[in-house]
Amino acid sequence: MSGLLYSLQELVASNPLVRAGLLIGFSLALVLQIVPVMIWLERKLCAYIQDRIGPNRAALFGMIRAGGFFHTITDALKLLTKEDIRPVQANKGLFLLAPFLVVAPVLLTVAVLPWADDVVLADGRRVPMQIAQLDVGLLYIFAVAGLTVFGILLAGWASNNKYSLLGGLRAASQLVSYEVGLTLAAVSLMVTFETVKLEQMVTLQEGWRLGVVFQPIAFVIFLVATFAESNRVPFDLPEGESELVAGYHTEYTGFKFALFMLAEYVHMIVSSVVIACVFFGGWQVPGLPTAELKANIVPVLRGGLVAGASVSILLAIVCLRRYLVGPHRWKDRGDLEPAFWGTILLVAGAVQIALAIAGVTRIPADAVPWLAAFVQFNMLMMKAGFFLFLYLWVRWTLPRFRFDQVMRLGWKMLMPIALANIVITAAVVTFGGRIFS
């Protein structure tokens, strides 16, 4: 390993504050970078499901549209520069405070997410790939994320608007209702894993012993409850555009409105990572525990490069075919974009194939633990990405539930089932022995 990389490794391993600072910066940057991508994917997916074109006109140099991604960037700039309007009758202090009370708790939950297994150095020192390894683990996420309800309530009440107030009340009743089912489902997980630490839950799911296999009922309850907690369709009653204009954030504009949207998407990201960790092994590579992953790091990296090259070439073929058979109806430089991206993807695929054949041959021993952590991180992102896609798919497939249906589902269905699942789990552990031993 080069002197610079070795010095950086020593700095991270010997100074917990530096490690925590780097992980905080990495975690926040990762989450905040995923948000605009999610907004773009949501627009494209909803356009596909509803059989319409979707965003595709904003462009650089009149040519590069990136499939409409620049619409997301321009919207972000618009929200940051838009005039900040506050109703005259609103409570100024609470009105300003509410958006921050919504977004801050959600960002704080990132602190306990395990991005990969601990990196074990040659001298035996361990570098955790997690900002804080708290003893309360999963309970910390529930406790902190539950504070967002105060921000939503304050936003509805401080706006001095009846629609905002109704949206805040809906949010409070919905979040409280589904937090009960969510917490009871978590109790079954705690009994099963005999721990509340996320990193230990992931470590116990080595090989194919996934949490969803032992707790399928808890998985369904957990999934439905997280949808309700994030106020997404079919549980978007706090917003309810067709009923409450925009619900609790009706009176918010510009940057403060952007904070509410940011909190919603960050909650989706965090909940997807948590579901991946407690039910699908998190960063665990199926069939490859950390020790075996390190021993087979070269073939694993080559396989990843080949898989990436295959995806790149497939997308390149799609882009080039679209260019060749496209109608070219606009008669402008934007018609060349499929050819532009197809060429870039072909080059990317060729580079990945070259690296797989000749670039990845021998890995320095000091780099193996870090490369294994990189592979595990990508595995976690793929698992979480599936649930992020599920969020978008459900939103543009199901209609909004009525308020009484939402309450009935939370109190009369999820909670009794979750309680019964706790009893069954406790009986299995008591009479059948430990599940993860």
Instruction: Give the total number of structural domains in the chain.
Output: 1
The pLDDT score that the predictor gives to residue 239 is 81
Residue 291 belongs to some domain of the structure:
no
pLDDT by residue (tens digit) across 122-141?
777 888 899 988 888 889 99
Task: Reply yes or no on whether the pLDDT at 61 is more than 80.
Answer: no
Q: What span, in angstroms and rounded, lies between the C-alpha atoms of 239 and 186? A: 27
Residue 57 belongs to some domain of the structure:
yes
Q: What is the pTM of this model?
A: 0.92
Could you give the percent of the chain with pLDDT greater than 70?
95
Q: Enter the DSSP assignment of 77.
A: H
Q: How confident is the model at residue 334 (pLDDT cuts 50, 70, 90)?
A: low
Task: Reply yes or no on whether the pLDDT at 160 is more than 90.
Answer: no
Residue 54 belongs to some domain of the structure:
yes
Residue 344 belongs to some domain of the structure:
no
The pLDDT score that the predictor gives to residue 29 is 92
The pLDDT score that the predictor gives to residue 382 is 94
Mean pLDDT, to the nearest integer, of 181-188? 92
The pLDDT score that the predictor gives to residue 16 is 81
Q: What span, in angstroms and rounded, lies between the C-alpha atoms of 379 and 302? A: 15
pLDDT by residue (tens digit) across 4-18?
666 777 777 777 888
Task: Reply yes or no on whether the pLDDT at 369 is more than 60.
Answer: yes
Q: Which residue has the higher pLDDT, 128 or 233?
A: 128
Mean pLDDT, to the nearest integer, of 394-399? 88
Let me know: does 380 contact 283? Beta carbons within 8 Å: yes
Mean pLDDT, rounded, of the chain: 87
Residue 303 belongs to some domain of the structure:
no
Domain extent for 265: 3-284+364-432
Residue 106 belongs to some domain of the structure:
yes
Let me know: does 430 contact 194? Beta carbons within 8 Å: no
The neighbour count for residue 266, using CB atoms within 10 Å, is: 23
Task: Reply yes or no on whether the pLDDT at 331 is more than 60.
Answer: no
The pLDDT score that the predictor gives to residue 309 is 93
Q: How confident is the model at residue 386 (pLDDT cuts 50, 70, 90)?
A: very high
Q: Which residue has the higher pLDDT, 247 or 95?
A: 95
Task: Reply yes or no on whether the pLDDT at 55 is more than 70.
Answer: yes
One-character DSSP codes across 102-154? HHHHHHHGGGG---SPPEEPTTS-EE-SSS---SSTHHHHHHHHTTHHHHHHH
Q: How confident is the model at residue 26 (pLDDT cuts 50, 70, 90)?
A: very high
Let me know: does 113 contact 104? Beta carbons within 8 Å: no
- Token pair belonging to 15: 């100074």
CB-based burial, 6-28: b 16+ in 10 Å, e otherwise? eeebeebbeeeeebbeebeeebe
pLDDT by residue (tens digit) across 90-122?
888 888 899 999 999 999 999 999 999 988 887
Task: Reply yes or no on whether the pLDDT at 330 is more than 60.
Answer: no
The pLDDT score that the predictor gives to residue 4 is 64
Residue 172 belongs to some domain of the structure:
yes
Q: Which residue has the higher pLDDT, 426 or 12?
A: 426
The pLDDT score that the predictor gives to residue 62 is 67
Residue 316 belongs to some domain of the structure:
no
The pLDDT score that the predictor gives to residue 348 is 93
Mean pLDDT, to the nearest integer, of 373-388? 94
The pLDDT score that the predictor gives to residue 30 is 93
Task: Reply yes or no on whether the pLDDT at 313 is more than 60.
Answer: yes
